[in-house]
């Protein structure tokens, strides 16, 4: 939050990458198999916010398209997305 509040532009993205690496270093532990290592990284996944940085870099600061469709689409999309993720976790377990 402090990075987002105090910094703008490319410096913000660079600091996000540095924070991601700072979170990755203590999270990584090498296990005997690749599957165990990936499972551990999936459990300690705070550093994966790095995956949203390309979307933040593409944001131009302008509001997206408005209107009733966009408003109600996202009102429906968000709970449906959460239910889908919940169903996937039930089937994956």
Residues 39, 9, single domain; the answer is: yes
Give the model confidence (pLDDT) of 30-44 as tens digits. 888 888 888 887 887
């532009």: which residue's tokens? 9
Residues 2, 39, single domain; the answer is: yes
CA-based end-to-end distance of the chain: 33
pLDDT at site 9: 80
Q: How many domains does the chain have?
A: 2
> Which pTM was predicted?
0.55
Residues 39, 56, single domain; the answer is: yes
Query: If pLDDT is split at 50, 70 and 90, which confidence band does 25 have?
Result: confident
Residues 58, 72, single domain; the answer is: no
- 4, pLDDT greater than 70: yes
Q: What angle do CA 65, 4, 17 make, to 5 degrees?
A: 105
Q: Which domain holds residue 89?
A: 63-93
Distance CA 77, CA 32 (A): 41
Distance CA 37, CA 35 (A): 5
Residues 13, 32, single domain; the answer is: yes
């Amino acid at each position: 939050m402090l990075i987002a509040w105090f910094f703008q532009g490319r410096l913000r993205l660079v600091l996000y990458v540095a924070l991601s690496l700072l979170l990755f270093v203590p999270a990584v532990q090498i296990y005997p198999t690749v599957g165990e290592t990936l499972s551990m990284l999936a459990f300690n996944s705070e550093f994966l916010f790095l995956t949203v940085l390309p979307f933040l870099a593409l944001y131009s600061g302008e509001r997206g398209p408005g209107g009733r469709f966009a408003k109600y689409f996202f009102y429906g999309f968000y709970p449906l997305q959460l239910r889908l993720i919940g169903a996937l976790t039930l089937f994956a377990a």
